[in-house]
Chain A
């Protein structure tokens, strides 16, 4: 039961992008299309789950004072594996994600979960926590990617969805559009949380 709660908390209640506001840099940069968002979400989830599990396994032998370097080595190894695998098997996705694959290393969500959760909890719970946070991050990216791609290009997964002759709102595919979409979604999430709180009281 607790495991399930660790999983679901990452999706709405403590969503990394909209509630914890971690990992905003990739969220702004790689949400121009749904395909990129899905790829980035999966890559991050893989790294998050693997690093959470490994750090949870070795948490008792890591000396407190060098814990951060230890986490970084573990995280960087998994990121390199993802990078090599994408390069070898999905070159198109690798090309469009570009610099943001290696930058997963410095994604605050991953180091944050290692420090705040995996170093204090067992393997099973850490696995569920990583999975939940990864899925929450991925869904956030896909939501932003969906809005930006449909409005900014009139396409979805690089296929046309709006009527012929729709003039795309180009700003949405560019950085200002990312900030606009993120701002509106943050507002929406805050509203949601306030209403949830009220109904609980």
Chain B
């Protein structure tokens, strides 16, 4: 009996001490974590709406979107998220659309595709070598965006067709798939296409009802 009591007491006190410690750490870390998440989403918005500095949240019946305004107060475009099932994960994409319905840029927010194949959709090719870095040499003209995502720039809703084996870009009227990652490429294209179509349709419906 005494042994059982001791077991209960010791385990309980260890749990209490741990819980108190964790509670303290959590209160310290929480604001920082929220700040990071906010910064990440703001950065994504700035990437898909280049030049926008002010953002306003809007809602449609089944889609939330953001209107981005430039420093001069002019509308830069709309940003919203789309998603589709990829090869091994759900891919979430943020789409930036200009007021005349062309894609400004897209950014993949979330994916867990096969490293080296599907991840080419997000990998930015590295031009700089380790030796350049060690010698302090700066390499100019490196890409800042994955070539696959760059293809979406300037495309209209009807140009979002996936075609295989026509690398390198530019292709004015279609998207070229990544070699060895057709399913990932298709998922990204579908996610963008569906989101754009849904956005345009819902905005049209809203406009028809005269609600703004």
Binding site for B on A (CB under 8 A): 32, 58, 61-63, 65-66, 69-70, 73-74, 76-77, 80-81, 84-85, 87-89, 91, 98, 152-153, 155-161, 168, 170, 173-174
Residues of B contacting A170 in the complex (Cβ-Cβ under 8 angstroms): 116-117
Residues of A contacting B25 in the complex (Cβ-Cβ under 8 angstroms): 80-81, 84-85
Q: Give CA–CA (A98, B126) in the complex, Å.
A: 23
Q: Let me know if B212 is at the binding interface, CB within 8 A.
A: no
Residues of A contacting B127 in the complex (Cβ-Cβ under 8 angstroms): 160
Q: Let me know if B11 is at the binding interface, CB within 8 A.
A: yes
Binding site for A on B (CB under 8 A): 3, 6-7, 10-11, 14-15, 18, 21-22, 25-26, 29, 32-33, 36, 40, 112, 114-117, 126-131, 133
Q: Give CA–CA (A174, B29) in the complex, Å.
A: 34
Contacts A89-B32, A160-B130; A84 near B26 (Cβ below 8 A):
yes
Nearest-neighbour CB distance to chain A for B124, whole angstroms, equals 10
Residues of B contacting A84 in the complex (Cβ-Cβ under 8 angstroms): 25-26, 29, 33
Q: Is the CB of A70 within 8 A of B22?
A: no
Q: Report the nearest B residue to A154, measured CB to CB.
A: B126
Contacts A77-B22, A81-B25, A91-B36; A159 near B133 (Cβ below 8 A):
yes
Q: Which of A81, A88, A156, A173 contacts B130 (CB 8 A)?
A: A156
Q: Give CA–CA (A98, B89) in the complex, Å.
A: 14
Q: Which of B3, B10, B33, B40 contacts A88 (CB 8 A)?
A: B33
Q: Give CA–CA (A77, B10) in the complex, Å.
A: 16
Q: Report the nearest B residue to A63, measured CB to CB.
A: B7
**Interface residues of A, dominant DSSP:** helix
Q: Report the nearest A residue to B31, measured CB to CB.
A: A88
Q: Is the CB of B32 within 8 A of A88?
A: yes
Q: A84-B26, A160-B126, A161-B129 are in contact. List 20 more A-B contacts (CB 8 A).
A: A32-B115, A61-B10, A63-B6, A66-B7, A70-B11, A74-B14, A77-B22, A80-B22, A84-B29, A84-B33, A88-B29, A91-B36, A152-B116, A153-B116, A155-B126, A159-B128, A159-B130, A160-B128, A173-B115, A174-B116
Q: Give CA–CA (A58, B11) in the complex, Å.
A: 11
**Interface residues of B, dominant DSSP:** helix
Residues of A contacting B40 in the complex (Cβ-Cβ under 8 angstroms): 91
Nearest-neighbour CB distance to chain B for A8, whole angstroms, equals 30
Q: Is the CB of A73 within 8 A of B11?
A: yes
Q: Report the nearest A residue to B25, measured CB to CB.
A: A81
Q: List 12 A-B contacts (CB under 8 A).
A: A32-B115, A62-B10, A73-B14, A77-B18, A77-B22, A84-B29, A85-B25, A85-B29, A89-B32, A91-B40, A152-B116, A160-B126
Q: Which of B33, B115, B133 contacts A87 (CB 8 A)?
A: B33
Q: Give CA–CA (A136, B114) in the complex, Å.
A: 29
Residues of B contacting A98 in the complex (Cβ-Cβ under 8 angstroms): 112
Nearest-neighbour CB distance to chain B for A81, whole angstroms, equals 5
Q: Give CA–CA (A182, B172) in the complex, Å.
A: 46
Q: Report the nearest A residue to B112, measured CB to CB.
A: A98
Nearest-neighbour CB distance to chain A for B161, whole angstroms, equals 27
Q: Which of B7, B29, B116, B131 has the most CB of A within 10 A?
A: B116
